[in-house]
Amino acid sequence: MTKEINYHMSPEEFRRRGYQTIDWIANYMQKVEDLPVLSQVKPGEIRANLPDAAPQTGESYDAILNDIDRIIVPGLTHWQSPNFFAFFPAGASAPSILGELMSAGMGVLGFLWATSPACTELETHVLDWLVDMLGLPSHFKSSETGGGVLQDSACSAAVVSLIAAREQAQADINRLVAYTSKEAHCSIERAAKIVGLRPENVRLIEVDEHYAMCPEELQQRIEADIQAGLIPCYLAATVGTTSSNGIDPIAKLGAIAQEYHLWFHVDAAMSGTAALCPEFRWIHQGLEQADSYCFNPHKWMMTNFDCNCFYVKHREKLVQALSIMPDYLKNEATESGQVIDYRDWQIPLARRFKSLKLWFVIRHYGIEGLQHYIRKHVALAQEFAQWVNSDPRFELVVDPPLNLVCFRLKGGDSVNQALLQHLNASGKLYLSPTRLNHKLTLRLSIGQAQTDRNHVKQAWQLICNYADVLIQQPSTKFVEVKLANHFR
């Protein structure tokens, strides 16, 4: 009789390799500050270093780890670097990583309460905690009419909220109209495509000088659509737009949404975390009028991706819009009506035990610890804005309400494009651009877990040094040579 071959890791080897992997991650977190922030590889370089075919026989774990160092790390843009100031923060903290590891080890798929009661009930409880922690309206709690669920991102939150709005309207989908601002994240337009609204029925409303949606124009567009025989059904406001951190006037928009019976969704993807601090809760003024709300702990709350907190005022509207019950999912707990089945709150059926990492983070840092880092990052952004304002070479494009600073080097788009390219190519920091008032603008977003004042100060010094060379620009070639020599 042929002896069965066991290809699995033994418990002893798993334990040893687990320690080795944790050591690798800890070492990476220690040295990430010294690595080039933006990957320096060329297109195709990573694949060129990988074998053409998968291995026929298993390889050693040491060989796999060696290739992580040799191939993978050079191809990373280091989002965990304290010198990463692009896009939005994505600060994975140690307790969050450990919570993710625990979730992976348990291997739970919590789409029904019955498939793991702890997965559902911990999620419900932690999301109720966050209602109090952020000072959100109490109806978002599961003990009242609403409740919260963890989505993967604000993009998915936009999709499910728009599905609920579509079902609430109970009308010809070709006549339904959705509204958001010109500065809103593109996920709103994408959600409309996914849900089936006609692209020409998505209205992008003008913004004011602070890049916040104009309520007056919104109302005019709604009235015009009604006169044209269309059916307004959905309004998405933003607390902290991607480009400028613009904060829409939630109270005024909410009043309009109520007047015209629109589903009112508020997306506070990055900025919502600021409401952990009472002094920043003004960003949510008027939120009690919202039908749904979301923010991303994976952006500014020490929790690694993916982790979006999505709340609804009336959970039955969401469940009715998404629920389908085939025989293979029926069970006694569900039919009792006493439990939450989160499969009815999201697009996919399957779901991971994501609340573990959020629970770990909240318990490790406590409310005070999380508040400390929010206040620190906002203060650093405000200080950076002061440096920009006091330097005649630069201009502050908009006053930063929180932790994102939008600025430009005076002299036009070409000089700012050159500044951005040379800064990012240096490997010493990473900024991302946007366009505000039709002008190329540099964004500096502060919120990484390990970012301190010295990193922000070094970034400003580097920006100033590059600007000095660019301002004297006699020719592009001269600038490139001079920059290369000066910052070698």
Query: Rounded to an integer, what distance in angstroms lies between the CA atom of residue 103 and that of residue 472?
Result: 55
Tokens at residue 264, please?
A: 């009112």
Instruction: Encode 88-108: b = buried (16+ Cβ within 10 Å), e = exposed.
Output: bbbbbbbbbbbbbbebeeeeb
Are 476 and 403 within 8 A, CB to CB? Answer: no
Q: If we measure between CA atoms, which residue out of 372, 420, 381 comes closest to residue 399?
A: 381
Tokens at residue 346, please?
A: 């999201």
3-class DSSP state of 412: coil
Query: Rounded to an integer, what distance in angstroms lies between the CA atom of residue 439 and that of residue 267?
Result: 25
Consecutive sets of 10 residues in the chain, 488 residues long: mean pLDDT of each? 83 95 96 94 94 94 95 95 93 93 93 90 97 97 94 94 95 96 93 94 96 97 97 97 96 97 96 98 97 96 95 94 85 86 90 95 97 97 97 95 96 94 94 95 95 96 93 55 42
Note whether 343 and 372 are same-domain residues.
no
Note whether 291 and 166 are same-domain residues.
yes
Query: Rounded to an integer, what distance in angstroms lies between the CA atom of residue 295 and that of residue 306?
Result: 12
Note whether 160 and 121 are same-domain residues.
yes
**What are the start-end ranges of the H helices in 71-200?**
94-106, 117-134, 154-169, 187-195
Provide the domain count of the chain.
3
Note whether 148 and 277 are same-domain residues.
yes
The CATH number of whichever domain residue 325 belongs to comes to 3.40.640.10
Q: Which amino acid is at 139?
A: H
Asked if residue 5 belongs to a domain, the reply is no
Beta strand spans in 284-368 (E): 292-295, 308-312
The CATH number of whichever domain residue 454 belongs to comes to 3.90.1150.10
Note whether 330 and 372 are same-domain residues.
no
Note whether 310 and 169 are same-domain residues.
yes
Q: How far is CA 441 from CA 50, 287, 413, 460, 468, in A?
A: 38, 30, 8, 16, 18
pLDDT at residue 473, rounded to an integer: 66
Note whether 246 and 173 are same-domain residues.
yes
Asked if residue 98 belongs to a domain, the reply is no
The CATH number of whichever domain residue 22 belongs to comes to 1.20.1340.10
For 427, phi then psi, to 5°, come to 80, -5
Asked if residue 101 belongs to a domain, the reply is no
pLDDT at residue 20, rounded to an integer: 96
For 236, phi then psi, to 5°, come to -115, 120
Note whether 348 and 424 are same-domain residues.
no
Note whether 59 and 192 are same-domain residues.
no
pLDDT at residue 102, rounded to an integer: 95
Which residues touch 149 (CB under 8 Å, ≥6 apart)? Answer: 123, 127, 310, 342, 345, 346
Note whether 346 and 389 are same-domain residues.
no
User: Where among 322, 352, 382 does a domain terminate?
Assistant: 352
Hunting for tokens 């602070």 — which residue is that?
A: 210
Asked if residue 102 belongs to a domain, the reply is no
User: Where among 308, 323, 352 does a domain terminate?
Assistant: 352
pLDDT digits (tens, 9 = 90+) for 123-163: 999 999 999 999 999 999 999 999 999 999 999 999 999 99
Note whether 209 and 178 are same-domain residues.
yes
Asked if residue 4 belongs to a domain, the reply is no
Q: If we measure between CA atoms, which residue out of 99, 15, 101, 34 comes closest to residue 73?
A: 34
Asked if residue 94 belongs to a domain, the reply is no
Are 267 and 157 within 8 A, CB to CB? Answer: yes
Q: If we measure between CA atoms, which residue out of 277, 305, 306, 275 comes closest to residue 293?
A: 275
Asked if residue 451 belongs to a domain, the reply is yes
Asked if residue 89 belongs to a domain, the reply is no
Structural domain harbouring 60: 11-34+39-76
For 265, phi then psi, to 5°, come to -110, 135
Note whether 301 and 367 are same-domain residues.
no
